[in-house]
Amino acid sequence: MEWYVDALNKFCDFSGRSRRTAFWMFTLINTLITLAILLLEAFLSTPARVSSIYTIVMFIPWIAVAIRRYHDTGHSGWWIFLPLANLILLVINSQPGRNRYGENPKGR
């Protein structure tokens, strides 16, 4: 639990370094808490509001500890956003007309 509290205390600290153990223990505890909330919501047949709020609130502390973990491996924290670039490319609209990969499957 010490790792979890430490990460929360540094929730907006995007500088410095975090050990592997700090990152993975925070991630594990965060995941277990999320699962416990989800199970409780399912058992009580309530909408997933609390788990959604918890996930949103914990996003910034997780990003912060992940960036510090990248720093610990000698890499820029900006690498954390590479999956975000993939997500953006997967949800943006297609190019109109033909491109180098063929016709637009929408038929436009």
Buried b (16+ CB within 10 A) or exposed e, 56-68: eebeebbbbbbbb
Partner residues linked to 16 by β-bridges: none
Lowest-pLDDT range of 23-27, 88-92, 95-99: 88-92
Residue 16, judged by CB atoms within 10 A of its CB (0-12, 13-18, 19+), counts as exposed
pLDDT tens, residue by residue, 69-89 = 999 988 899 988 888 877 787
Q: How confident is the model at residue 108 (pLDDT cuts 50, 70, 90)?
A: low
With CA atoms as reference, report the closest residue to 68 among 32, 30, 35, 9.
9
Give the pTM. 0.75
Q: Answer whether 48's CB lies under 8 Å from 34's CB.
A: no
pLDDT tens, residue by residue, 14-67 = 988 988 999 999 999 999 999 999 999 999 999 989 999 999 999 999 999 999
